[in-house]
Amino acid sequence: MTAPKYRELAEMLRQQVSQAPIGAPAPSERQLAEETGVSRMTARRAIDELVKEGLLTREVGRGTFVARPTISVPLQLTSFTDDMRARGHVPSSRLLELADRPADARVAGVLGVEQGTPVTVLARVRMADGVPMAIERSSLRADRFPGLARYDFENESLYRVLSEDYGARFEAGEQVIRAGIVRDEDAEILEIPSGAPVLELVRVSVSRGEVVEWTTSTYPASRFELSARIAPVTVRGSELRSALRVRD
């Protein structure tokens, strides 16, 4: 059986869209029907297909445009660089801040160090194919990783440096995910309207029994989804309740 006409057309459109810049106008139903000789109904179904897949977005009264990519990130202890590469995107970073600082009470509490212990603060805009995907603000144990502030984190993966140059082995971690509203200064960096929804992923990771990293990643809700594989495990009710923590 041959694929329905609209599927063929959708495939052709998909190829066009993959070459087009974000925000470029997509052909209208009428144009598409005229150019390809299909009915307007078939053209509409093909366009609908791409809208459903998130490749095109319809803006009321304006038309249909090439959408920003939505990135699906697994809930695992992996690095941004590896996650993006695994999905066929090219990762890059822009540095916002990199410095050693004495830990304040909050950072010290999370990292389990004395207040005043040196901590490396790293803030980056993380990009996929040049599109800003997240702002990541990390606090790292400078006593475990001395000299970290000298690295070029626009071009380096933090996890690569920690594991290969400092011998860190991440054996555990915890990630809390919460919804929020973007801060004004972040809205500009992420190129989203002020007040837009964001997802914040707060991660602590553990190496050799100690918390070594505390990172908050702020993702625009519109460009990002989380996926987790659900395996059959036996958990008691009380454990489940503690995993589904109420936000404070």
The 3-state DSSP class for residue 61 equals: coil
Tell me the residue type at 69.
P
> By CB under 6 A, is residue 10 in contact with ligand 16G?
no
Q: Rounded to the nearest whole angstrom, what is the least distance from the CB of residue 119 to ligand 16G in the complex?
A: 14
- How many residues bind ligand 16G (CB under 6 A)? The answer is 13
Question: Nearest-CA neighbor of 190 among 166, 219, 215?
Answer: 219
Q: Scan residues 160-189 and list those touching ligand 16G (CB under 6 A).
A: 160
Q: How large is the greatest C-alpha to C-alpha distance in the chain, in angstroms?
A: 72
Quote the DSSP letter at residue 193: -
> H-helix or E-strand containing 21?
none
Stretch that binds ligand 16G, among 54-62, 152-160, 183-191, 234-242 (CB under 6 A): 152-160
DSSP 195: T
Q: Is 217 in the site for ligand 16G (CB under 6 A)?
A: yes
Q: Return the number of the residue (27 or 132) whose C-beta is nearest ligand 16G.
A: 132
Looking at this protein, which amino acid is placed at residue 194? S
Binder among 14, 44, 89, 203 for ligand 16G (CB under 6 A): 203
- Tell me if residue 159 falls in helix, strand or coil: helix
When the beta carbons of 65 and 166 are compared against ligand 16G, the nearer one is: 166
Question: Rule CB under 6 A: which residues touch ligand 16G?
Answer: 79-81, 136, 138, 157-160, 201, 203, 215, 217
